[in-house]
Amino acid sequence: MNIEELSKSQLILLTILVNFVTSVATGILTVSLLDHAPAFVTQTVNRVVEHTIETVAAAAPATIIQQAPAQAPAPSNQDLVTAAIGADAARAVAIYAADTGTSTPAISIGTYLPKARAIATAAQDALPKEALIEFTDGSYVPASLARQGKGVAIYGFADSAMLPKMSSPALVASSDLKLGETALALGADGSAATGIVSRVSEKGIHTTLPDIGTGSAVVDLSGDLIGISGGASPGLLIGAGVITAILTATSTSAGAPAATSTAAAQ
Beta-strand relationship, 236-239 and 130-134: unpaired
Give the CA angle between residues 113, 76, 181 to the nearest 5°.
55
List beta partners, residue 109. 94
- C-alpha 229/C-alpha 187 separation (Å) is 10
pLDDT top residue among 47 and 81: 81
Task: Look at residue 58 and give its three-state secondary structure.
Answer: helix
Give the largest CA-CA distance in the chain.
116
Domain positions in the chain are: 3-59, 77-247
173 alpha-carbon distance from chain centroid:
18
Q: Kindly give the interhelix angle for 39-59 and 8-36, rounded to the nearest 10 degrees.
A: 130
Q: How many CA atoms, within 13 angstroms, populate the side-chain half-sphere of residue 244?
A: 13
Residue predicted with more confidence, 41 or 241: 241
Q: Which CATH class is domain 77-247?
A: mainly beta
Give yes or no for a contact between 175 and 199, defined as CB atoms under 8 angstroms apart. no
pLDDT in tens, 107-121: 999 999 999 999 999
The mean per-residue pLDDT over the stretch 238-251 comes to 86
* Residue 179 pLDDT greater than 60, yes or no: yes
> With bands split at pLDDT 50, 70 and 90, how would you rate the model's confidence at 187?
confident
Instruction: Answer yes or no: is pLDDT of 237 > 60.
Output: yes
Residue 123, sorted as left (phi over 0), alpha (psi -120 to 50) or beta, turns out to be: beta
